[in-house]
A and B are shown apart, each in its own frame.
Chain A
Amino acid sequence: MGLESALPVDSVLSTQLNRVVNWARRSSVWPMPFATACCGIELMATACSRFDLARFGAEVMRFSPRQSDLLIVAGRVSVKTLPVLQRIYMQMVEPKWVISMGACASTGGVFDTYAVVQGVDQFIPVDIYVPGCPPRPEMLIEGIMAIQRIIDADNIPRDPEGKRLPLNIAVAPNYEPRPMPVPVTVGAS
């Protein structure tokens, strides 16, 4: 296009192109919702008008893993469901991101039984852990924004051979629970 001739010899075009690509990627993190339990309700609330995930370009829930960038595992995963989760993960294309949303997806939560996976990070790589039971939509947005910051800064962690490493970021609670409005007494008549 003749643009190169106008540039200095040590061209900055490639880095600028990187920034444009990263801007496009972080502005369109399309989630694949793997909602198996009550965390899925908070996930829906996150996408609805009050919290409005569209502000971050992530409102396009794609139910085809081939069209999505971000896998949100919301809810406990039974061992029987695990092959489905792994297949969905494998069908996603790079660069892909995984959020483990809520206590059950991250650790198994209260479901410490033979049939429930004790943390999906045992079986697939997880980038962001969002704690809570279920997490508030603000915290899920915080997790998505953390991914956006990583994409924007172009610092995807890699091992010496160039393979991607999981981010292993846990989101800290970003709200203070309010005190109870009335004193609670148990057993009083």
Chain B
Amino acid sequence: MAAAPKLDHPSLPLVKERFADVKFMATEFRGQTTLVVPAEKLHDVARFLRDDPRCQYNFLSDVTAVDYLDYPAPQPGRFAVIWNLVSHANDRRLRLKVFMNPTIDTTGIDADPALIVDSVTDLWPGAEWMEREVYDMYGIRFRNHPDLRRILTWKDFPAHPLRKDYPLRGRGEREHYQKLARDSA
């Protein structure tokens, strides 16, 4: 039996006090506290955590995502987007997490109306490329992102390769390319 999470992170009561009507979840693992936020409240919570003088999370360390397909433990949703916040003033870290469930087939690249969350590029400009990577790899879109294009794979790549239902060797992307002969130049 795992030890009960120690939810003594000093920022959690502040968030709870400020957003009294929102239902949060919080977990802790080896001293790392994660706050699970409803997708529609993410931007407000992030702005509060950055601007409140008791929180001062002035640095966004990372934006990443997880695909929980076939995960052994049950999770609130298939995809999770994670924001790693750092407060240099308080020497403190906090993770925000938003779960979401796809509504259409995840093997394609069509825009899923459920896989969208507010961008935080207006709060931390460094989020721009990290959100582009999450979009590229998982197909999760970011509302109000200034330039939401693929960043690692190329423009016409027909999948989101870090989704768990994408095969490791791809669906033939690496084989179907123009072949050059010696006299084609």
Partner of A112, one of B169, B182, B185: B169
Q: How far is the CB of B56 from chain A (nearest CB, A)?
A: 39
Q: Is the CB of B180 within 8 A of A116?
A: no
Q: How far is the CB of B113 from chain A (nearest CB, A)?
A: 27
Q: With A80-B154, A114-B168 given, is the CB distance from A86 to B174 under 8 Å? A: no
In the complex the two chains form, what is the Cα distance from A80 to B161 in whole Å?
A: 14
Give the residue name and chain of the A residue nearest to B154 (CB): A80
With an 8 Å Cβ cutoff, the count of chain B residues facing the other chain is: 23
Contact residues of A between 142 and 166, Cβ < 8 Å to B: 163-166
Q: Which residues of B contact A115 (CB under 8 A)?
A: 153, 161, 170, 173-174
Q: Is the CB of A113 within 8 A of B169?
A: yes
Contact with A along B149-185 (1 / 0, CB 8 A): 0001110000101000011111101110111111111
Q: Which residues of B contact A133 (CB under 8 A)?
A: none
**Interface majority SS (helix, strand, loop, mixed), chain A:** loop
Q: Is the CB of A118 within 8 A of B182?
A: no
Contact residues of B between 107 and 160, Cβ < 8 Å to A: 152-154, 159
Partner of A90, one of B159, B161, B185: B185
Q: Is the CB of A123 within 8 A of B178?
A: yes
In the complex the two chains form, what is the Cα distance from A114 to B154 in whole Å?
A: 12
Q: Which residues of B contact A89 (CB under 8 A)?
A: 180, 185
Q: With A114-B161, A117-B174, A118-B174 given, is the CB distance from A125 to B169 under 8 Å? A: no
In the complex, the number of residue pairs spanning A and B with C-beta atoms less than 8 Å apart equals: 56
Q: Is the CB of B178 within 8 A of A113?
A: no
Give the residue name and chain of the A residue nearest to B155 (CB): A80
Contact with B along A70-98 (1 / 0, CB 8 A): 00000000011010001001110000000
Q: With A80-B153, A80-B154 given, is the CB distance from A114 to B174 under 8 Å? A: yes
Partner of B179, one of A91, A118, A123: A123
Q: Is the CB of B179 within 8 A of A122?
A: yes
Q: How far is the CB of B164 from chain A (nearest CB, A)?
A: 14
Q: Is the CB of A125 within 8 A of B185?
A: no
Partner of A116, one of B153, B174, B181: B174
Give the residue name and chain of the A residue nearest to B179 (CB): A123
Q: Is the CB of B177 within 8 A of A79?
A: yes
Which of A115, A116, A124, A166: most chain B Cβ within 10 A?
A115
Q: Is the CB of B180 within 8 A of A86?
A: yes
Q: Which residues of A contact B169 (CB under 8 A)?
A: 112-114
Q: Which residues of B contact A79 (CB under 8 A)?
A: 154, 173-174, 177
21 contacts between A and B (CB under 8 A): A79-B154, A80-B152, A89-B185, A90-B180, A112-B168, A114-B161, A114-B168, A114-B173, A115-B174, A116-B174, A122-B179, A123-B177, A123-B178, A123-B179, A124-B180, A125-B181, A125-B182, A163-B182, A163-B183, A164-B182, A164-B183
Interface residues of B (CB under 8 A from A): 152-154, 159, 161, 166-171, 173-175, 177-185
A-B residue pairs, 3 tightest by C-beta: A114-B170, A90-B185, A125-B182
